[in-house]
Structure 1
Amino acid sequence: MAALLLLLAVTGCRNHTGSQETEAGTHDLQQIKDSGQLVVLTLYSSTSYFNYRGQEMGFQYELSEQFAKSLGVELKVKVARNVKDLIRKLQAGEGDLIAYTLPVTKEWKDSLLYCGEDVITHQVVVQRKGGRNKTLKDVTELIGKDIYVKPGKYHERLVNLDKELGGGIHIHLVRGDSVSAEDLIEQVAQGKIPYTVTDNDIARLNRTYYPNLDIDLAISFDQRSSWAVRKDCPQLAKAASEWHKANSTSPDYKASTKRYFEISKSTPHTPILSLREGRISHYDDLFKKYAKEIGWDWRLLASLAYTESNFDTTAVSWAGAKGLMQLMPSTARAMGVPPGKEQNAEESIKAAVKYIGKTAQSFKNLPPEEQVKFVLASYNSGIGHVQDAMALAEKYGKDKNVWKDNVEKYILLKANEEYFTDPVCKNGYFRGTETYNFVREITARYEQYKKKIKE
């Protein structure tokens, strides 16, 4: 009997010839329910799956979690290296379902069952609204324009489009592995380059960071994509499709869509409360009270709070962080914030200081001025991504104990597949631009506070 169970576990879900009965060795819907666990396969990306401040996030991840909950089972996530690896792992029985927008192709339709939502994607030109250049409305207007793209499908599409138009598009191929496709989008938003190309879902997400982007000009045919399961798991495919159809307008589904593709990721900021009175905020006394516990200058703690919430105790971020110090719900609970008190100023500051103190222990061997930067970076990204950046810095000959121009360079590079798939990285994809700017902004503002506000 034990040998038979072992054989079933190893063989996983095998192809069979159209029978509606579940054969020995398959792992369709009933077996998933019996096991109590749905194993999904996905890729690290800004739209599918990533870790933020110690919490699993991503649009596809959240939909998978909701689907698993509907089945009454726990969700387990396994991350593949690329699309080819996703399919290999699925066919090898390492997962039950691909929770990623997998392109629908004839080649894969022969070996997979597509299911879930039928997502329509296409490539768009990313351009800046209100810039020096007139907003392009038609592909013919690309003639004579400079467009910057990474090698791959965007470059291939532009080359083909250039041929279709009879030539004239100035295509600039950006080959350096230190620049990602999303870095190019940021450069468009900042006016450093005029145009780039990306998929419309990635463009929608990035517009929540940069509202000055125009992403309406499509340059490719629509591409269908969806989740997928093995060919001999029809009941799981049916359940996924029916769940998507029934829940695409549910509060949870709509909240996930809004979180990633609609809510602005930027926080508006205002000046110092009163330079004449020497006050940074209404909470200066609390900053002074608790900063002592970690040996910080209270003005540094105030600078952190300013960046996090603009001193707004009612602030709730796109990721669900709450209050003055923008603690994630799980962190707030772990640091002792009473339920319902996440937006209480003193509870938020007290918990944040406790969290900073615990985080600082991981960098206790660093000089104080470096320790502060590593702690701030961890506060923003989660300590795992900082440790990954340290490991990358060491691997590539930089000083893993120095933030500026060393580790900060590699927190930026964790948005690039070449780096976040490196064996020394344990936490996958991360949009490091925010953390890079976070540390620089807080430390620079702290220096300004020291000049203008007495200790």
Structure 2
Amino acid sequence: MIKLPFLHISLLALATVPLACGSNKAASGETDGNVPDTLHAATLYGPTSYFSYRGQTMGFDYENVKRFAEDENLVLDLKVAPSLNALLKMLENGEIELAAYPIPIIEEYNKVVRHCGYKEITWQVLVQPHNKERISDVTGLVGKDVYVESDSKYYYRLKNLDQELGGGINIVTITKDSLITEDLIRMVDRGEIPLTVVDSDIAELNKSYYPRLDIGMKISLDQFSSWAVRNDLDSLASKINNWEKRHDNSQMLREIYKKYFEISKSSAPYENPVEALGVKIKKGKRISNYDATFRRHAKIPGYDWRLLASIGFNESSFNNDTVSWAGAKGLMQLMPATAKTVGVEPEELVNPERCIFAAASLLKKLDLALAEKVPDPDERQRFVVAAYNCGLGHIYDAIALAEKYGLDSKRWIGNVSEAALMKSRPKYYNDKVVKNGYFRGRETVDFVDKVFSVYDFFIKHTQ
């Protein structure tokens, strides 16, 4: 079974994170057998390792290396490398002591690093709908269409499996720039393609978004990986191993694991939001119990109150008790730190009046920040809603990519929305114009579509 799943994606960036008091020492090794007071580490951007979400730094590896530094009273100097090879080169050159990222446990890497800490086990799995036609054995792939990214490890595994079975698997390759493995998983969920293959950690993460999927059929051998230090840093490796084995870490580790891999991240409603609303709202009737509050606070950004209501519906289905996997709270699903930037304390987010006020204030703040880049006020609303969902930095990045790659940077649909999707691929989140790393663009593009779909519905059915 998977012990600690990770996703191997990277991006070029630098980030320094001070976490505890201590004197700085060079990252040149441990000649005295002691762990340095400053821990120089690096990781990679990715949907579980290290990323920015709604303006907050998050990630499974990030949270664990931060906890290790805090527990051991170390200052954490954390950098983000552009690729796995660059990360290993940083270790080899003495720029860092720790690669806080799952390094494959293979002979090639064992020559230059010492693995330590959590050992994860992953394998490739078939992603399929959970129904009575479920494939339970690899022989069931004969005669089936399986979609994978071209020239990927999944493609080569399927080619080998096809040879082992004597042929018959129809391997369909995808090459579109803005389409990635996670998109293929989504397409299986929607019935647009029948099957795909991914690593078990990617599958488990995405099942938290698409709970109707079946990811139980294994099609490869186990793959092992863990964090790593330089070969000469025995003391640091031992310290990490001992920290991992401590009893009081097990529950915390389980909670972090659950946060990233088990708690549902599918937005409500699961199906088409307009269809879900259509049976609940009659023409001329109120949208929610909070209509008056939406009307009052929509004056802050100068938006139609029904757009503000649509954001609230898509965020929480008007449920003020909602708390997301990432810690967003209340009817409008604001991160506590974000709420504070508009003068609302985290504990106030359970109050619908204050939560809607905070959301409206944030929309105004985002609108002002985007006014120069997107002059048309109606078009800018889509950009603002996108930034509300993912954070302003990712939208600035998408605008920069659109400008660089010949898209209209002042138009959302088919232009900056496409650039947002591109930011899920290393080629683009490694681009020099990108400042905020990996971004699960599909989530935000879908959010904007849903918000404006529901908004149009509200306009037709209310005054």
Query: Do the structures match in fold with TM over 0.5?
Result: yes
Using the TM superposition, give the Cα deviation of residue 249 of structure 1 relative to its aligned residue in structure 2, in angstroms. 5.8
1:23 aligns with 2:31: yes
Matched residues in 2 for 1:29 and 1:172: separation? 53
CA contact under 8 A between 1:248 and 1:254: conserved in structure 2?
Answer: no
Matched residues in 1 for 2:173 and 2:95: separation? 37
Partner SS for 1:340: helix
Structure 2 counterpart of 1:407:
416
Structure 1 counterpart of 2:52:
51
Structure 2 counterpart of 1:147:
146
Using the TM superposition, give the Cα deviation of residue 152 of structure 1 relative to its aligned residue in structure 2, in angstroms. 2.2
What amino acid maps onto 2:66 in structure 1? Answer: E
Structure 1 counterpart of 2:273:
none
Quickly say closer, same or farther: Cα 1:421–1:363, change in 2 above 3 A.
same
What amino acid maps onto 2:115 in structure 1? Answer: Y
Structure 2 counterpart of 1:271:
277
CA contact under 8 A between 1:126 and 1:203: conserved in structure 2?
Answer: yes
Partner SS for 2:192: coil
Using the TM superposition, give the Cα deviation of residue 247 of structure 1 relative to its aligned residue in structure 2, in angstroms. 5.2
Structure 2 counterpart of 1:333:
340
What amino acid maps onto 1:82 in structure 2? Answer: S
Unmatched runs of 5 consecutive residues or more in structure 1: 1-7, 15-21
- Paired residue for 2:403, among 394, 407, 414? 394
Quickly say closer, same or farther: Cα 1:311–1:336, change in 2 above 3 A.
same
**Paired residues for 1:79-228 under 5 Å:** 79-130=80-131, 134-150=133-149, 151-228=151-228
Structure with bigger gyration radius: 1
Quickly say closer, same or farther: Cα 1:356–1:405, change in 2 above 3 A.
same
CA contact under 8 A between 1:336 and 1:351: conserved in structure 2?
Answer: yes
1:450 aligns with 2:446: no
Matched residues in 2 for 1:332 and 1:173: separation? 44
Partner SS for 1:198: strand
RMSD: 1.8
Quickly say closer, same or farther: Cα 1:190–1:274, change in 2 above 3 A.
closer
CA contact under 8 A between 2:179 and 2:421: conserved in structure 1?
Answer: no
What amino acid maps onto 2:28 in structure 1? Answer: C
CA contact under 8 A between 1:119 and 1:226: conserved in structure 2?
Answer: yes
Partner SS for 2:460: helix
What amino acid maps onto 1:101 in structure 2? Answer: P
Partner SS for 2:389: helix
CA contact under 8 A between 1:13 and 1:233: conserved in structure 2?
Answer: no
Matched residues in 2 for 1:161 and 1:396: separation? 38
Unmatched runs of 5 consecutive residues or more in structure 2: 1-24, 270-275
Matched residues in 2 for 1:48 and 1:236: separation? 21
Partner SS for 1:39: strand
Matched residues in 1 for 2:300 and 2:363: separation? 10
1:342-386, CA deviations, whole angstroms, 9 ceiling, x for partnerless residues? Answer: 211111111111211111111123211111111101000101110
CA contact under 8 A between 1:321 and 1:327: conserved in structure 2?
Answer: yes
Structure 1 counterpart of 2:388:
379
**Paired residues for 1:250-399 under 5 Å:** 250-269=250-269, 271=277, 275=282, 278-365=285-372, 366-399=375-408
Structure 2 counterpart of 1:243:
243
What amino acid maps onto 2:310 in structure 1? Answer: S
Matched residues in 1 for 2:34 and 2:458: separation? 59
CA contact under 8 A between 2:320 and 2:330: conserved in structure 1?
Answer: yes
Using the TM superposition, give the Cα deviation of residue 30 of structure 1 relative to its aligned residue in structure 2, in angstroms. 2.6
What amino acid maps onto 1:271 in structure 2? Answer: L
Quickly say closer, same or farther: Cα 1:413–1:248, change in 2 above 3 A.
farther
CA contact under 8 A between 1:342 and 1:348: conserved in structure 2?
Answer: yes
Using the TM superposition, give the Cα deviation of residue 219 of structure 1 relative to its aligned residue in structure 2, in angstroms. 1.0
* Bigger Cα displacement from structure 2, 239-248 vs 107-116: 239-248
Matched residues in 2 for 1:198 and 1:405: separation? 27
Matched residues in 1 for 2:359 and 2:34: separation? 43
1:81-128, CA deviations, whole angstroms, 9 ceiling, x for partnerless residues? Answer: 221111011222232211111110112112111001111111111111
Using the TM superposition, give the Cα deviation of residue 450 of structure 1 relative to its aligned residue in structure 2, in angstroms. 1.1
Structure 1 counterpart of 2:229:
229
1:71 aligns with 2:79: no
Aligned residue-pair number: 429
Partner SS for 1:333: helix
Q: TM-score, normalised by structure 2?
A: 0.89
Using the TM superposition, give the Cα deviation of residue 248 of structure 1 relative to its aligned residue in structure 2, in angstroms. 7.9
CA contact under 8 A between 1:117 and 1:245: conserved in structure 2?
Answer: no
Question: Once the two structures are aligned, what percentage of the paired residues are identical?
Answer: 46
1:234-287, CA deviations, whole angstroms, 9 ceiling, x for partnerless residues? Answer: 111111112222258634322211111111112333637653662111111111
Matched residues in 2 for 1:376 and 1:350: separation? 16
Quickly say closer, same or farther: Cα 1:332–1:39, change in 2 above 3 A.
farther
Matched residues in 2 for 1:359 and 1:252: separation? 35
